Amino acid sequence: MMDEVLEMWVSILIELSRLEWMLGGGQPWTPGTKLKLLFAGYNGTRNTGSDVRVEEMLRQVRRVLGAKNVHLSVMTQNFDYSRGYFGDATQVKLPDIFPPFLYSEVKKHHGVVACEGSMFKSKFANALTAMMIGSLGIASAQNKVSVGYGAEAGHMDGFLSAMCARYCRDSFVITRNEESRTVLRDLGVPAELGTDTAWTFEPHGLEYGTKTLADVGWDGRQPVLVICPINPFCWPVRASLTKGLAYGLTGAFRESHYRSIYFHNSGPKAEAQYKRYIIAFATAVDSFRREHDVFPILVAMERLDTAPCQALSAKLGGLPVFSSDKYDMYQLVSILRFSHLMISSRYHGIVTSMPGLVASAGVTMDERIRNLMRERGQPHLVLEADDPDLQPKLLNVLQYLWKHREEVVDAIGRTVVQNLKMMARMGRYFEDQVQRRYPEFPVRDGVLSWLDYLPALSPGLWKLIEEYDSSSQAETQPVRQPGS
């Protein structure tokens, strides 16, 4: 019920913003001033994937529009967790009860870039999708830049789907797969195909990973197996005033409490499914390491994943756990890329490891990893989290990664380069959207290559481009690296 209240609240504020704009309110951009863009997302919770995505969006937008021409702001839920991130962008506090904040904050900017990967779906939290729709809807209601960047779209509950169709029809959404573009176009929302934005992220160097793993017992020679588990069955998160009051007064619903009035999915069925998932992982990994001399580690890509990592560690004799609660995104991704093999239920665990050519497979609860493996031409490397035969299938996948690592890595390298090109296309789309809304905004002159639409690339990415994209060899020799 509370989710519906939030959705209605957001809808009313979008309509009110439209009326105010028609009556002459708002702050239109004027030539000679900086374009103020608000990046609306799920940052400041130490969700490594969300933070990496936004870090690279900001670097790309500065590159495409010119750092001197823009003033960028990013939402954060906790300044302590996002300190040191996002360059010179201004960080603004996103409260748990967000509609009034959106109504007042979007007005201060000339455009909104919605950042959340799972932007339009009910799988995780209707409130989060309502926030994304509200951010885009208020911006477009005021005739401002309104762009969803690297979005996923899937099943949405009825009212949420209607909100998306009504309030995002004047926005422009760049999706990270064809399936999401189809969902949005069926709702009448303008959408084009892009990708995720984490591909260009550069963590600390391999020397950091070497030292960090040596400190927890790695012998310097064993292949590293990284495991990124989650609790796939605690979703969706829903707002509940009743549970919130009970929690505040008596401590009830403590185990499922997320924060404020938001609570995870819970109950005997969810608990039983989660237990089977952990046992399947533990049994498969234990069997695999008995056959192969590997050094297994656990990585919690989001703070919420620390508990699954600890549960799995306990069943496997105390494996090292690296959590985003203690390691920032530069450290955590460095550890991932130092690995040789990966099994992950986190989409960005896989994505951020791929530029390091880590042979990876996924255990998924939704379509994101499924779509990525299809794109890699390796649909056999994704399993379902609720599969009753998860344990034997997971062991088979690990054996496949071991035996066919070179073949898997080759497909990964090609996919990384393909996605770099798609990310460059996103930069062009974004530039076009800014020009369409603000024709007098200054843009770069001359002939530009696709590489000029990307942020500064690391030497490792340039090496992948040279190896897997022969058409770019002329551009990359001499290596003219774009500025940040």
Q: pLDDT at residue 327 above 50?
A: yes
Average pLDDT in the chain: 92
- Report DSSP state, residue 458: P
Between 1 and 290, the higher pLDDT residue: 290
User: What letters, b where the CB count within 10 A reaches 16 and e where it falls short, cover 179-216?
Assistant: bbbebbeebebebeebbbbbbbbbbbeeebbeebbeee
Same fold, 2-194 and 206-403: yes
Q: What is the mean pLDDT of residues 328-349?
A: 96
Residue holding tokens 């939402």? 75
Q: Work out the pLDDT band at 1, boundaries 50, 70, 90.
A: low
CA distance 127 to 290: 45
Instruction: Determine the pLDDT at residue 471.
Output: 59
Q: pLDDT at residue 305 above 60?
A: yes
Q: pLDDT at residue 286 above 50?
A: yes
pTM of the complete model: 0.92
Instruction: Determine the pLDDT at residue 470.
Output: 67
Is the domain defined by 2-194 classed in CATH 3.30.70.3270? no
Instruction: Determine the pLDDT at residue 476.
Output: 38
- For residue range 199-232, list pLDDT tens digits in order: 999 999 989 999 999 999 999 999 999 999 999 9
- Structure tokens given for 97: 């009860």
Cα angle for residues 152, 120, 86 (degrees, 5° grid): 65
Label each residue of 90-117 as H, E or C: EEEECCCCCHHHHHHHHHHCCEEEECCC
Q: pLDDT at residue 484 above 50?
A: no
Residue holding tokens 């237990």? 275
Instruction: Determine the pLDDT at residue 218.
Output: 96
Q: What is the mean pLDDT of residues 328-347?
A: 96
Residues above pLDDT 90, as percent of the chain = 82
Superfamily of domain 206-403 in the CATH hierarchy: Glycogen Phosphorylase B; (3.40.50.2000)
- For residue range 102-157, list pLDDT tens digits in order: 999 999 999 999 999 889 998 888 999 999 999 999 999 999 999 999 999 999 99
Among candidate residues 359, 356, 322, 362, the one with its CA nearest the CA of residue 344: 362
The values of phi and psi at residue 32, to 5°, are 90, -5
Q: Where are the domains of the chain?
A: 2-194, 206-403
Give the number of residues written for the chain: 484
